[in-house]
Amino acid sequence: MSTLPKPANRPANPQFSSGPCTKRPGWSLDALSDAALGRSHRAAIGKEKLARAIDLTREVLQVPADYRIGIVPASDTGAMEMAMWSLLGERGVDMVAWESFGAGWVTDVAKQLKLADVRRFEAGYGELPDLSAIDFDRDVVFTWNGTTSGVRVPNGDFIPADRKGLTICDATSAAFAQRLAFDKLDVVTFSWQKVLGGEGGHGMIILSPRAVERLESYAPAWPLPKIFRMTKGGKLIEGIFKGETINTPSMLCVEDYIDALEWAQSIGGLDGLVARADANFAAIDAFVEKSGWLANLAKAPETRSNTSVCLSIVDPEVTALDAAGQAAFAKGMVSLLGKEGVAQDIGHYRDAPPGLRIWAGATVETSDLEALMPWLDWAFATQKAALKAAA
């Protein structure tokens, strides 16, 4: 049925999921043989492992020495909820969103926290809102990289150094692949299962001195669950930021995160990680530019993610279909590629426009993406032939 033969080469690793993401090159269970299994996380060995995870995070991400780094429950979602429920309400807040996860934070603040003074700055998939309209005398909540839209902020230049409010940044699909402007960020959250290919269930929260000052000087009007509490008696619980976690972490997952961080160091730290992600995006982008039937969902080149690369099918016969037909066409391609074992989990996010989403973070090998690209042409041609046959 296809008008194209199947390509001769296949990716050595077909895992291109946007989370949990593929493990680092060369990973095996042997890498976790030193895990502190069956031991308390409060024992000396447990504290040592957790402290090492924090220290390596600081080194690889180049986090300023006076910023606190903590391991918290419930992945990036837990870290973001902890930040918003603990810090917001002291002043008005500007909520900035351009995809589903950012929109989720808007909903939480407006409908769960029910803050009275909330302004929304939103844009559709593929675009950024007007960042110049944000008032940084207020608190600001935004994502650095839109995981489900493939749209990121190019840099931190839109944030003034003399801001009065706090900036709370969900950086889960940006950390370790994009350079975060820590001097412009007061709270940064992410999870282990994105750029470093770690396991799920654990989040990271990074606090600037300004965020700590807010925590120690402001008490929200609402009760805080135990897993959100970062202060006691008006003072920061410093132990959280030394590895004394609020609840019990998986020491197996901690060992895996340490292994990923040590691998990151071995390839040149943040510079090496960013370079790998940039090379991966370049391999996809070069194919897209030549394809004639694909386009980046992110309209402005400077906003295109180098991790969660979201692509639209722009062939006229496909775009002429209704929304359900376009979604079915994209899902058909994804199914073909999955059955061939050349690409797993590259469908668009359920709330996003129909298309493909290919993870290009640092644990992916550029050679695997280069091998995948001709298969996209094959899947498109096969699905197009099926569409014509059904007409």
pLDDT in tens, 132-183: 999 999 999 999 999 999 999 999 999 999 999 999 999 999 999 999 999 9
Does the residue 289 lie in any domain? yes
Neighbours of 210 (CB within 10 A): 16
**Mean pLDDT score across all residues of the chain:** 97
Same structural domain, 238 and 317? no
Q: Domain containing 115: what range?
A: 29-266
Same structural domain, 156 and 37? yes
Would residue 177 be called left, alpha or beta, if left means φ above 0 and alpha means ψ between -120 and 50 degrees? alpha
Q: Which of 229, 248, 266 is the last residue of a domain?
A: 266
Does the residue 13 lie in any domain? no
Does the residue 1 lie in any domain? no
| Residue 353, domain CATH | 3.90.1150.10
Gap between the Cα atoms of 40 and 43, Å rounded: 5
Same structural domain, 248 and 286? no
Q: Which of 232, 266, 300 is the last residue of a domain?
A: 266
Does the residue 16 lie in any domain? no
Same structural domain, 96 and 210? yes
Gap between the Cα atoms of 35 and 252, Å rounded: 6
Same structural domain, 167 and 150? yes
pLDDT for 2: 55
Structure pTM? 0.97
- Is residue 263's pLDDT more than 90? yes
Gap between the Cα atoms of 368 and 33, Å rounded: 28
Q: How far apart are the first and last CA of the chain?
A: 14
Does the residue 22 lie in any domain? no
Q: Which of 266, 293, 320 is the last residue of a domain?
A: 266
Does the residue 383 lie in any domain? yes
Same structural domain, 139 and 39? yes
Confidence of residue 274 (pLDDT cuts 50, 70, 90): very high
- Is residue 1's pLDDT more than 60? no
Same structural domain, 354 and 211? no
| Residue 190, domain CATH | 3.40.640.10
Q: What is the average pLDDT across 35-45? A: 97
Does the residue 6 lie in any domain? no
pLDDT for 390: 87
Q: What angle do CA 333, 278, 156 make, to 5 degrees?
A: 115
Same structural domain, 238 and 289? no
Share of the chain above pLDDT 90, in %: 98
Neighbours of 42 (CB within 10 A): 12
Same structural domain, 147 and 43? yes
Same structural domain, 193 and 217? yes
Does the residue 80 lie in any domain? yes
Same structural domain, 131 and 254? yes
Confidence of residue 3 (pLDDT cuts 50, 70, 90): confident
pLDDT for 228: 97
Range scoring the smallest mean pLDDT among 67-71, 186-190, 247-251, 349-353: 349-353
pLDDT tens-digit map of 300-353: 999 999 999 999 999 999 999 999 999 999 999 999 999 999 999 999 999 999
Look at the chain and report how many structural domains it folds into.
Answer: 2
Same structural domain, 188 and 331? no
